[in-house]
Structure 1
Amino acid sequence: MNILFVADPLESFKIYKDTTFSMMREAQRRGHTISACEPQHMLWQRGDVVRAKVRDIHLTGDANDWFSESAALTGNTTRALKDFDAVIMRKDPPFDSEYFYSTHLLEQAEREGAKVFNKPRALRDHPEKLAIMEFPQFIGPTLVTRSADDIRRFHAEHQDIILKPLDGMGGMGIFRVKADGLNLGSIIETLNKNGQESVMVQKFLPEIDKGDKRVLVIGGKPVPFCLARIPQGGEVRGNLAAGGKGVAQALSARDREIGEALGPILLARGLLLAGVDVIGDYVTEINVTSPTCFQEIHDQTGCDVPALFIDALEQALASK
């Protein structure tokens, strides 16, 4: 197969932990060929199919110079996305207007015959924080609102709360407000932009001290191990980008219950890969844009997550 990865610039990859790199490495190990482009390299001209200026690459095994371009494309030479056996959308958040437009180009490529994972429409239909609200049986007390008064009422009821922007990533913009309500007004104004933007508010879950668990769901099934991102140094955020420590561990019974319940639903919607974030017994986010933690789980447990993903990809392609 020839697989196109739509991703961030290759030169920005930190290959010792990058999940997209681990996917590429496993695909190449199986004899598949690899190409890459950035969303900005896709184009759609009247009367033509969706194309992209791509880089055909080969992984070298050298940590300092990890890929070579075996057939570099130059100038205005492009290739149709429909001509690849699979297109894997791995652009990291934020899910901004350009990401949104990229999903439309990818969806047009689908209409032309391209096989895109995760499905572009599913990416648009599953905002990573809001998506949890569809599954109330698996989440803690949660409110989404622009209203400062509603947030204050939620705080009065639950006393210890977390506030976060709906478009945040990597733990950015997350605040905890305890029973004393210190700085609640200022935090609300910062996040809701004086009532112009919606905010997610959740009851604080003390189990965060045991980690914010990333439960990976591949091909509708939970991976047997998760990565608990444990806050460090007085932080309330476990995100690795915010300094959290990643500790791989076997799924708990509740983790497995969540993964097995959500997995078939997400897969049916075109989400071959999802990262379900769980604190204690509760889902806090469902990540679908560019879920990570493959290498950390593999390195610590031996569970070959990249192989599980390529297995699922090959199976999905065989069934189309």
Structure 2
Amino acid sequence: MNLLFIADPLEHFKIYKDTTFAMMREAAARGHRLWTCEPQHISWRSGGRVTAQAQAVTLTGEAERWWQAEPARPLALAEVDAVLMRKDPPFDSEYFYATHLLEQAEREGARVFNSPRSLRDHPEKLAVMEFPEHVTPTLVTRDAGEVRRFHAEHGEIILKPLDGMGGMGIFRVGPDGLNLGSIIETLNRHGASTLMVQRFIPEIVAGDKRVLIIGGEPVPFVLARIPQGSEVRGNLAAGGKGVAQPLDPVDRATATAIGRVLAPRGLLLIGLDIIGDRVTEINVTSPTCFQEIQQQTGFDVARTFVDALEGAAAAPR
């Protein structure tokens, strides 16, 4: 198959842990041809098809210069067997516009994973609100008064921006409410921006578990991202320690229930964040942790993913 990866610049990849690289390596090992581009390389001319200035890429097996690329050329997205949207957040206006171009490419015959419509319809913080039975008490608002009332009700809370990633902009406020007003002003920009507030989950000390769902089925291992020192965030980007663990029965049931709802919407790969037994986020843009799980358990997540990708790309429309 010809596979087009829409991603961040290849020179920014940390291949010892990058999930997109793991996907590419597994696909190349099976003989699939790899193409890459960035979102800004996609265009659509009236009367024509959605096209990317894409490079055919060969993996070298080396640690430093790990790829070789042919000169970029126009490639209609409908010409390849599968398009993988792997651009990291933030989900800003340009990302939003890219999903519209990708949806047009789908109308022209392209197979895009994850579905661009579902990427738009499932913002990673807000998507949890569809599943209240699995979520800690949560509030989405831009109103400072509502945040204060939520804090008064629950005592200890977490506040976060809707467009953050990697633990960016997450605050914990205790029962004393210290700095709550300043934090609200920072996150909601004096009422101009919406934020999310959740009841603090003390089980964070055991880790923020990344549970992967591929083709609607949970991966049998998770990566628990454990906060270090006085840090409340377990995100690896915030210094958390990643420890792979078997998927427990409670989290398996949660992931199975959510996967059965979301996978039919074109979400081939989903990453749940679970603290204790509560889902805190549903990641659909570029879920990670493939390599950390494989390195610690031997379970080849990339192989499972490419199996699912091949099946989805070949399935009748």
Partner of 2:104: 108
Could you say what the CA RMSD is over the residues aligned between the two structures, in angstroms?
0.7
Partner of 1:32: 32
Alignment of 1:70-89 (within 5 A): 71-73=70-72, 77-89=73-85
Q: Give, in whole Å, the separation in 1 of the partners of 2:32 and 2:51.
A: 21
Please tell me whether residue 213 in structure 1 is matched to residue 209 in structure 2: yes
Q: Give, in whole Å, the separation in 2 of the partners of 1:32 and 1:215.
A: 27
The one-letter code matched in structure 1 to 2:19 is: T
Please tell me whether residue 147 in structure 1 is matched to residue 147 in structure 2: no
Q: Give, in whole Å, the separation in 2 of the partners of 1:80 and 1:151.
A: 47
Deviations 1:226-279 (A, max 9, x none): 000000121000000100000000011111011110112111100000000000
Gaps in structure 2 of 5+ consecutive residues: none
Q: Give, in whole Å, the separation in 2 of the partners of 1:167 and 1:64.
A: 32
Partner of 2:297: 301
In the TM superposition, structure 1's runs of 4+ consecutive aligned residues that sit over 4 Å from their partners are none
Partner of 1:255: 251
Partner of 2:307: 311
The one-letter code matched in structure 1 to 2:10 is: L
3-state DSSP class of the match of 1:82? Answer: helix
3-state DSSP class of the match of 1:52? Answer: strand
Q: Give, in whole Å, the separation in 2 of the partners of 1:139 and 1:51.
A: 40
Q: Give, in whole Å, the separation in 1 of the partners of 2:251 and 2:223.
A: 11
Which of 261, 267, 270 lines up with 1:265 in the alignment? 261
Please tell me whether residue 157 in structure 1 is matched to residue 125 in structure 2: no
Which of 220, 223, 237 lines up with 1:224 in the alignment? 220
Please tell me whether residue 128 in structure 1 is matched to residue 127 in structure 2: no
Q: Give, in whole Å, the separation in 2 of the partners of 1:135 and 1:312.
A: 25
Which of 126, 138, 142 lines up with 2:134 in the alignment? 138
Which of 181, 187, 191 lines up with 1:185 in the alignment? 181
Deviation at 1:57, TM superposition (A): 0.6
Q: Give, in whole Å, the separation in 2 of the partners of 1:146 and 1:64.
A: 45
Partner of 1:56: 56
Please tell me whether residue 198 in structure 1 is matched to residue 200 in structure 2: no
The one-letter code matched in structure 1 to 2:47 is: G
Q: Give, in whole Å, the separation in 2 of the partners of 1:296 and 1:84.
A: 30
Q: Equivalent pairs: percent with the same residue?
A: 69
Q: Give, in whole Å, the separation in 1 of the partners of 2:313 and 2:126.
A: 29
3-state DSSP class of the match of 1:113? Answer: coil
Which of 99, 107, 113 lines up with 2:95 in the alignment? 99
Deviation at 1:102, TM superposition (A): 0.4
Partner of 1:287: 283
Deviation at 1:199, TM superposition (A): 1.1
3-state DSSP class of the match of 2:302? Answer: helix
Q: Give, in whole Å, the separation in 1 of the partners of 2:208 and 2:42.
A: 35
Deviation at 1:146, TM superposition (A): 1.0
Deviation at 1:196, TM superposition (A): 1.2
Deviations 1:188-235 (A, max 9, x none): 111111111111100000000000000000000000000000001210
Number of aligned residues: 316
Partner of 1:11: 11
Deviations 1:141-186 (A, max 9, x none): 1111111111111111110000001111110110000011000011
Q: Give, in whole Å, the separation in 2 of the partners of 1:199 and 1:33.
A: 42
Q: Give, in whole Å, the separation in 2 of the partners of 1:198 and 1:317.
A: 37
3-state DSSP class of the match of 1:143? Answer: strand
Partner of 1:23: 23
Gaps in structure 1 of 5+ consecutive residues: none
Q: Give, in whole Å, the separation in 2 of the partners of 1:317 and 1:53.
A: 22
3-state DSSP class of the match of 1:68? Answer: strand
Deviation at 1:318, TM superposition (A): 2.1
Q: Give, in whole Å, the separation in 1 of the partners of 2:253 and 2:29.
A: 33
Deviations 1:271-294 (A, max 9, x none): 000000000000000000000000
Normalization by structure 2: what TM-score? 0.99
